[in-house]
């Protein structure tokens, strides 16, 4: 199994910068790679990606030299396993609110006794059954797969100390949008109560020696990196909008 370059960057304390893609396009994944990003988030929770799309887009990511991470439709073990079996290198699992949720999430990614992930020969991650022996594959898969859990509800923030003790989690991602909604300020993560919860939870993640993740914009990314956030992504529409706005403004001012 190929090494997870993104996971290596995070272990070295380096920022891993990604881009979220919500619609089927291996070509966009290639562009994201050639643009210099470290990884791509294939978003099945909020996007229109099928499992077949995830597989082809993971192939494109591999070809472009970036790490494919999928956000499954839900935190159900079946949804997590389905994207892992398409050959992504990890998962960003939504709506993890408790220790029990976190343990189930890890179990759905890793192989072994009592694991929630089924083991099948002949899938893309094990080179369609034509690669190494199965015991070697499972050991490598457990080492290289990345588990990111999303803390995005008031309950998750309350339970953060306990969730941070769960083994096998590489990244604790704070989801500001759902968190703002959960705390009664939908779409306003800058509301004082929400902002304070985010800062406090980032502090707990850092104090536990764990990796923190958050989404970012051009305006916020430098501050997040300075504050120790290492798992960072932006959204493809933001990148397109950032390029389109000055272009259209220049064109229309020239015409006028």
What amino acid positions are annotated as catalytic residues? 46
Count the neighbouring beta carbons within 10 Å of the beta carbon of residue 68. 28
Euclidean distance between CA atoms 32 and 36, whole angstroms: 7
CB 43 within 8 A of CB 72: no
Beta bridge partners of 235: 20
CB 128 within 8 A of CB 122: yes
CB 85 within 8 A of CB 111: no
Q: Which helix (H) or strand (E) holds 235?
A: strand 231-235
Q: How far is CA 18 from CA 2, 10, 29, 61, 230, in A?
A: 19, 13, 11, 12, 11
Task: Calculate helix-pair angle for 26-34, 51-64, nearest 10 degrees.
Answer: 30
Residues contacting residue 14 through CB under 8 Å, at least 6 positions apart: 230
């Amino acid at each position: 199994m190929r090494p997870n370059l993104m996971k290596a960057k995070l272990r070295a304390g380096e920022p891993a910068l990604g881009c979220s893609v919500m619609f089927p396009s291996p070509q966009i994944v290639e562009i994201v790679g050639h643009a210099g990003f470290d990884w791509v988030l294939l978003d099945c929770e909020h996007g229109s990606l099928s499992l077949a799309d995830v597989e082809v887009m993971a192939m494109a990511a591999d070809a472009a030299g970036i790490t494919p991470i999928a956000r499954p439709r839900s935190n159900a073990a079946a949804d997590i396993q389905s994207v892992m079996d398409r050959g992504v290198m990890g998962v960003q699992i939504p709506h993890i609110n408790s220790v029990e949720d976190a343990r189930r999430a890890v179990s759905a990614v890793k192989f072994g006794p009592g694991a929630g992930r089924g083991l099948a020969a002949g899938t893309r991650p094990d080179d369609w059954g034509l690669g190494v022996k199965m015991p070697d594959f499972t050991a490598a898969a457990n080492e290289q797969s990345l588990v990111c859990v999303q803390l995005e509800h008031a309950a998750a923030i309350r339970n953060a100390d306990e969730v941070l003790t769960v083994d096998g989690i590489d990244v604790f991602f704070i989801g500001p949008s759902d968190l703002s909604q959960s705390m009664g300020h939908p779409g306003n993560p800058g509301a004082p109560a929400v902002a304070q919860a985010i800062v406090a939870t980032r502090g707990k993640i850092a104090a536990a020696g764990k990796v923190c993740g958050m989404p970012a914009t051009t305006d916020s990314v430098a501050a997040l990196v300075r504050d120790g956030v290492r798992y960072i992504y932006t959204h493809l529409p933001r990148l397109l909008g950032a390029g389109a706005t000055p272009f259209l403004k220049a064109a229309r001012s020239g015409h006028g």
